[in-house]
Structure 1
Amino acid sequence: MNGKIRFAPSPTGYLHEGHLLSALYVWAAAQKWGLHIHLRIEDHDQSRARPEYIQSIYEDLSWFGFSWDSQSIQSERGRIYEAALQKLKAQNLVYPCYCSRKQLENENPKSETGEIVYKGKCREQGSASAIDTPHNLRVKIADKVIEWHDLRLGDFSENPKFQCGDFPIKDRDNQWTYQFAVCVDDIDEGITHVVRGEDIRSSTARQIELMGLLGRTSPPVYYHHPLIVDTSGKKLSKREMAHSLRQDKNAGISPKSLLGKVCFEAHLQPQNTPITLQQALNLAADRL
């Protein structure tokens, strides 16, 4: 095999059509480029992750006919994350942040995408506050431009300092953040290709920067695929209570019908007609 790709759902709800589309692109890329498929369960948010959602991921993917070569679950990788944290601390790149959510919203500007750009108040103040006070751990981000290429969207030149500023790698509930865990995992698990929805594109530059701080010399190959949106133009999400694949399965709808529907909604085929998994993969592969 020529490399390794991952499918990385979070078990904070049941899979929906957006996940199915992303899986199609991941498995299509693996077939087209000869990649090992790694299934990663991203349950870093222990306040929302549920065992039944984890089990449903395995069951739903298998129901459609997806198979994978290896798997991992973030909640079992604490020692690996801790070692990565110590590596950043040894470079004096981590500091505690005691700002409340209200302070963050009131004292910092927002980027063009509406994201808070942290200006480094606690970095400047140092660690004077009591360490047992609830706090985030932030990583120091340099003022520099990250240049990267997306196989679908083209070239980007972005400066994370002005996209988000120093971002959290551990939250005040002592949980590892998405940005940190995904970077550590992509390094440790040898991920060479990242295929994911274009809603995560804005995280790429900061992830490349963090992976560099952790010792990775070259970033993965990236492809950000288009999304399925609802009637209001919003992307499907668990927070918006998107209709789940499990609901359709329990209602007696076949995998072929769901695959055809998703490929139609994603403009991969012109009509809403049932298709096999391999046919759906072929349609996605034509867009890569």
Structure 2
Amino acid sequence: MAEVEKPVPNADEVLVKVLGISVNPADWHSMRGKPLFSRATLGLLRPKHRILGVDVAGQVESVGSSVVRFKPGDEIYANLLDHGYGGFAEYVSVPVDVSSLKPSNLSFEEAAAVPMAAVTALQGLHYHGTIRPEQKVLINGASGGVGMFAVQIAKSYGPEVTGVTSTGNIDLVSSLGADHVVDYTRTDFVADRQRYDLILDTIGNRSAHDLKRALAEGGKAAVVGFTSVPKFMGVSLRGGKHIAMVSAHAATKDLELLSELIQTGNVRPQIDRRYPFDEIPAAIAYLEHGHARGKVVVGVA
């Protein structure tokens, strides 16, 4: 913990009093510098950003000279992945183009759980185009932070959704709306005879060959987040199949769409654990173990 100067927003930014934070894999990847190829963007020898934290929710305290969308007192949420991090603090300057009004039916901590994970799920699912009701969609890692949003978002478009998870999370994934749940400790979805029109791999632990086998003719797969090796840079395969590695980048339009889905009850953040502000290191350590069921959030008193 350290005292730092209070930020001053630029013309296109708002100063936010942070009231909720979400912990993401991006934070511990930045701390560890792993996988090694990530150091090209996260910092070669030490973390590029002094203050980590990309997901924030809070109240606007002041606005930059060119800001017209927000005013002091507005409750907003935002993602700072492409804008210097800085969310693990009492105040942070936030660009308006990665911000949206907070859904009124969420607390600040719940809202902070949304931007990174839900936008990643949304952009991964839509990378190859709009989901159609007649499709069969598979979510690998359906009980993780991204996966839980992916199941709900995919189901809102009407397709048949299958979630892949561990034994202890079967009921949880079913409760999110998945039509089928595969227990990976007992069944390998690749070896199964079922084939899918769209696969969203939130884990990155399957090879291109595995994903190809699980795809139907003309099927598409998107791999999101960090993988051990950058294997999926856009691979077209026989039968019209395609596999791509997708990097999510938050934008206001995506957050506004998610706000609509949340307000209508189609999507709801699932919180695994809550930590106080002075226990952020413990929150990151818990997430790094890889067994979080949903999101890990931090409250800022």
| TM-score normalised according to structure 1 size | 0.25
Higher relative contact order (CA 8 A, sep 6+): 1
Instruction: Using structure 2 for the length normalisation, give the TM-score.
Output: 0.24
